[in-house]
Structure 1
Amino acid sequence: MHLSALLDFDAVPLDTDDAVSLLLEITAPERAEDVQRPPSTLQIVLDRSGSMSGERLDGAVRALLSLVDRLAPSDNFGLVSFNEQARVEVPCGPLTDKAEVRRRISALRASGGTDLSSGLLRGAQEARRASADRGASLVLISDGRTNQGVTDSALLRRVASDAYAHGVTTTTLGYGLGYDEELLGAVADGGAGSALFAEDPDTAGSLIAQEAEYLLAKTVQAVSLRIPVDPYLRGVGVAGEMPSHQLPDRSVVVDLGDFHSGEKRRLLLHLDVPGLASLGTTAVTVLEATYVDPATLTTYTAALPVTVNVVPGEEAAERTPRPEVRTEEAVQRAQTAKREASEALRRGDRDAAVDTLERARRDLLDPHTSQAPEAEAAEQAAELGRMAQMARSDDASRTSKALFASQAGHSRKSGRQRPPGTPRQPGEGGGPAVARGRRIRGEQTDKGRPAPDRPSSEGS
């Protein structure tokens, strides 16, 4: 695991409280072509309520049959379906009898109401049992609003969060225009996975296949970033819509889920630095990215010291912010704008949604805020323009779900490099890696022992 970072300001003024922004890039190790991947565990939780009847369930069945063909006999696969109650269609375990698994998938029929909580709970149990807490991926697929069982999004988020604490990453796929994007988004946030949106069966099939490709290419799992707060750091903020939480020692933790081979992601952190009394270089914190190697279940930590240069106040007054960091700040504000616009559409306020999106688009294009024509900033601005047009005249539910998926996709997968042949979900980052300015580079350690991957060269 490799970390590198770029500060908007390297220098802070002497004896003066200040704030700096840090753009962090996290890169997963690549799997060598001659290295056999370890067995994977994939648990599907599928809505089979009455609203799924016909083309929707047929499309999901086709996607799952193709998925079974893609997995190896040594991989664990399980299927839980739910309507008013959960039912284990395929107990999670090795795919030693694919013909029987295919028969059970093909026999699925839709009927009844929607108790999503029962499906999620039963699926998490199956995933944990089969993986023995070695790590698993759960994909929850639903087209409706849960109307039975637990319906509170905060409680369902806690269910997914508890599963993640035991190695199960949860991704949700909202199918059609009738599902509750806020609820499925909360489940995905709790499970450190993605919140996907598919309006039609073909898109749903492509996204299910995409998640399988990510699973099979996974090289690290259960990644978390910890930012300690000590006397040289007064507070930490995580920009945009990336969920984070604070520990009793005041350090901030961001759960990042699993990474596939060579995947890159970016985070933007705001660091509040208290007035420092001595001139020169000072380490204000040490970022710690902890993860598990799925092949050996060994836990590693990649550490990255963050240093600032304390200079006289008149010298600090002449500093200028790095454009890449300011551009990323504008991109993160755009994600918040998408969420706010989605909420406005759900309450029926099209004008507020359009205004929010247009202001974010102008912010991205304003040279005083973004300061650099980054490819991703231009891409995000164009998307905001398209979304604003949709908010004016398109179906409000469709636009709200597209905005939510775009925001969630960027927040979870910013900078992600997709495995070959997988589709891009709206908002999934594809911009260039940070490449200019003075980088802060990190080295991986495992309790003091050298790690296998090697820091990249400067400017790569």
Structure 2
Amino acid sequence: MTMSRMSKSGTSMILGSLCLASVLGGGGCTKAAPSNEEAPALAPPDEANTRAKGEQGFLANDGKQEAQAGKYDVRGGDMTRAPGDAPAAAEKAKAGGGAAAPPPAPTQALIPPAANDAPTIDPNGRFATTYRPGGGHLAAFESAVARGIIPPGERELVSDVGARYVTGFEVPKGKALGIQAGLERGKLPPSGSPFHLRLTLKSSSDKPAERPHLSVHLVLDVSGSMQGESIKQAREAASALVDKLAPSDDFSLVTFSTDAEVKIPDGPVGARREAIKKVIAEIKEGGGTNISSGLELGYAQAETKSIPEDAVKVVLLLSDGRANSGIKSASGISKLALDAFQKGIQTSTFGLGADYDGALMSAIAEDGAGGYYYLRDAAQIAPALGTELDKRLDPAATAVEVRVRLKKGFDLLKVYGSRRLSEAEAQRVRAQEVAADEQAAKRDNIKQDRKEDNEGGMRFFIPAFAAGDSHALLFQLRAGAGVGKGQLALVELKYKDRISKKNVTEEFPVDIEWADSDAASGATIDGSVARTIQGFAAGETLARAAQNVAGGDKQYAISLLTERETILREAAKTLEEPLFLKDADRLARMREHAAQSTGMGDPLLFAMLLETASRSHLR
């Protein structure tokens, strides 16, 4: 496919959708968004690795430093080399099958600070989680593919690769969720060192005996910006949605442009199905985009008194997402979604076509505890709705919280792909937890147990965990000198089991041991955890490279990719993981793009490519 030409302003339109923030504030943007608490922009390249204590960014160090001339310690996710050895790294990358490396940045810029000097993070508070259903992390990229800006063949560079580095395990019989801890080393060096802890969550593929009663409220954008293919796709999406619902499910339809209107009031689908689809087929576009008014009417329909108390209420927003009437700020509109969730109403967003505002749609879905989807064409609608109705709206567990309490003597250096939430963000998450607690009591008759907010430890909250799914949390920690055995942390998993209809709380210790020598410690490396570290570290490298490209320093970004490519090729041999070679080849292709000034080498498109690939690794 030939790369179509595009102006900077046209590319900026796509990059406006690139705030691929993780659920509950866990992500960032390669293009600066207006500064507010709900959507914090990434720090400038020279500040991204030096955030204040308690604000977790992408720290430059990814693992243990063992300085050896020309040698690489790939087990901890990083490499170290002697000054002046950067050209050797480039030659090694070239010999390994990748593209020839460009002249690297100064060596000292490539060597991360020693992990023993890395700043610590307060291990008490709420942290962002990267778990999220839907394809939000690919939305902006797919939008660019749909418009012909990016060739379809580039999808391979952003494919979902991170999950393959996480080991599987069996969920205990009769439980909705299982959790497993893994340490990078079975025994630490006697003098202590940085190390990694991995926590893996996995859900049962079993589902509740009956699908819940669904109360679905469609809020459809019919503004002038939806003209042409977008309004056509919106009508097809709405009609397909109605076909998915059971006769007993509730449905309403609200349309909005400059103002909002209830086209179909709430009620069971039943005999109304064809009449509903007829109304949808006759919808015309025109006017402004007043998303806030549309959502307000949709939420009012979801509060209709005739809806059963145990129904799963969800508002589905289908829009190009560019608010120019009513409330215009992302924070103001997403606040409506948070307020609705506290009343038991979830909000999921579906970005249509190629021009929607991804940052806004992402924020609404985050505060509404819903899914975020990009619908490139009608063929994608059925799979997206299938995910929404079958997996996300009928999860294995809800109100999931993982809490990690570190013992004295251990420091927190990093939570990969995450950060410590601000006070305002933490309050929003707390509101979601209380709402999820109340909803579980109504829908599944599971007793409320979250009225009191027990503080302490690192806390990760997930409103709902899909059946047959998995997720990993990766921590970089630091231990001092020690002998014998000790306890590293207490891990607590709390959730509402929708299969057994009860509250579940599990707590278990994570023990640790110090070896008698460095050599004895090195012999206890866990290959599975080491592979996970490599996958996550590659994701953070891609994110840092995206930051630098967005900041105008493409050359430094190329150096980061060169460095990570070399690490992955070494890791493929050291850890006996051939898939690392495939990832290294992907980075080589990215460097080839970076050497160009047009096409995929355009800074805005290249930043998008890097950011999307990063999110795929960190999922």
TM-score (norm 2): 0.54
Q: Cα offset for 1:155?
A: 4.7
The answer to whether structure 1 residue 62 and structure 2 residue 223 are counterparts is no
Q: Deviation digits for residues 232-283 of structure 1, max 9, x if unmatched? A: 654374312588678784422223343332222223233445x476632425
After superposition, where does 1:196-235 map in structure 2 within 5 Å?
Answer: 196-204=373-381, 206-215=383-392, 218-231=395-408, 233-235=410-412
Q: Cα offset for 1:297?
A: 5.9
CA gap of 1:282–1:39, structure 2 versus 1, over 3 A, is same
Cα distance in structure 2, aligned partners of 1:184 and 1:190: 10
The answer to whether structure 1 residue 73 and structure 2 residue 247 are counterparts is yes
Q: Cα offset for 1:56?
A: 1.5
CA contact (8 A) 2:187 2:521 kept: no
Residue matched to 2:285: 110
Cα distance in structure 2, aligned partners of 1:220 and 1:259: 5
3-state DSSP of counterpart to 1:108: coil
Residue matched to 1:28: 203
CA contact (8 A) 1:197 1:402 kept: no
Cα distance in structure 2, aligned partners of 1:370 and 1:183: 43
The answer to whether structure 1 residue 322 and structure 2 residue 526 are counterparts is yes
Number of residue pairs matched? Answer: 407
Name which of 253, 265, 285 aligns with 2:459: 253
Name which of 168, 177, 185 aligns with 1:9: 185
Identity of aligned residues (%): 26
Say what the alpha-carbon RMSD is for the aligned residues. 4.3
The residue identity in structure 2 corresponding to 1:263 is: D
TM-score (norm 1): 0.70
Residue matched to 1:284: 489
CA contact (8 A) 2:491 2:510 kept: yes
The residue identity in structure 2 corresponding to 1:366 is: R
Give 5+ residue unaligned stretches, structure 2: 1-176, 427-453
Cα distance in structure 2, aligned partners of 1:334 and 1:235: 20
CA gap of 1:170–1:270, structure 2 versus 1, over 3 A, is farther
Cα distance in structure 1, aligned partners of 2:344 and 2:555: 40
Q: Deviation digits for residues 427-459 of structure 1, max 9, x if unmatched? A: xxxxxxxxxxxxxxxxxxxxxxxxxxxxxxxxx
- 276-285 or 55-64, which moves further after superposition? 276-285
Residue matched to 1:439: none
Residue matched to 1:51: 225
The residue identity in structure 2 corresponding to 1:176 is: G
CA contact (8 A) 2:400 2:463 kept: yes
Give 5+ residue unaligned stretches, structure 1: 415-460
Structure with the larger strand share? 1
Q: Which has the larger radius of gyration?
A: 2
Q: Deviation digits for residues 312-366 of structure 1, max 9, x if unmatched? A: 5657654554333233233224434555566677x59594697388448616633
Cα distance in structure 2, aligned partners of 1:200 and 1:239: 34
Q: Deviation digits for residues 99-156 of structure 1, max 9, x if unmatched? A: 3332333333222222334444554565576575865455433324323344444455
Residue matched to 2:535: 331
CA gap of 1:366–1:375, structure 2 versus 1, over 3 A, is closer
CA gap of 1:249–1:372, structure 2 versus 1, over 3 A, is same
Cα distance in structure 2, aligned partners of 1:2 and 1:299: 14
Residue matched to 1:436: none
CA contact (8 A) 1:25 1:265 kept: yes
3-state DSSP of counterpart to 2:188: strand
The answer to whether structure 1 residue 309 and structure 2 residue 503 are counterparts is no
After superposition, where does 1:45-444 map in structure 2 within 5 Å?
Answer: 45-91=219-265, 94-96=268-270, 97-120=272-295, 122-123=297-298, 126-127=301-302, 135-161=312-338, 163-164=340-341, 168-204=345-381, 206-215=383-392, 218-231=395-408, 233-235=410-412, 237-241=414-418, 249-273=455-479, 275=480, 279-293=484-498, 298-312=502-516, 314=518, 318-319=522-523, 321-337=525-541, 339=543, 351=554, 355=558, 358-359=561-562, 362=565, 365-368=568-571, 371-372=574-575, 374=577, 393-394=599-600, 407-408=614-615, 411=618, 414=619
The residue identity in structure 1 corresponding to 2:282 is: A
CA contact (8 A) 2:196 2:475 kept: yes
Q: Cα offset for 1:6?
A: 1.7
CA gap of 1:366–1:54, structure 2 versus 1, over 3 A, is same
CA gap of 1:384–1:90, structure 2 versus 1, over 3 A, is farther
Cα distance in structure 2, aligned partners of 1:90 and 1:228: 50
Residue matched to 1:424: none
3-state DSSP of counterpart to 1:261: coil
The residue identity in structure 2 corresponding to 1:8 is: E
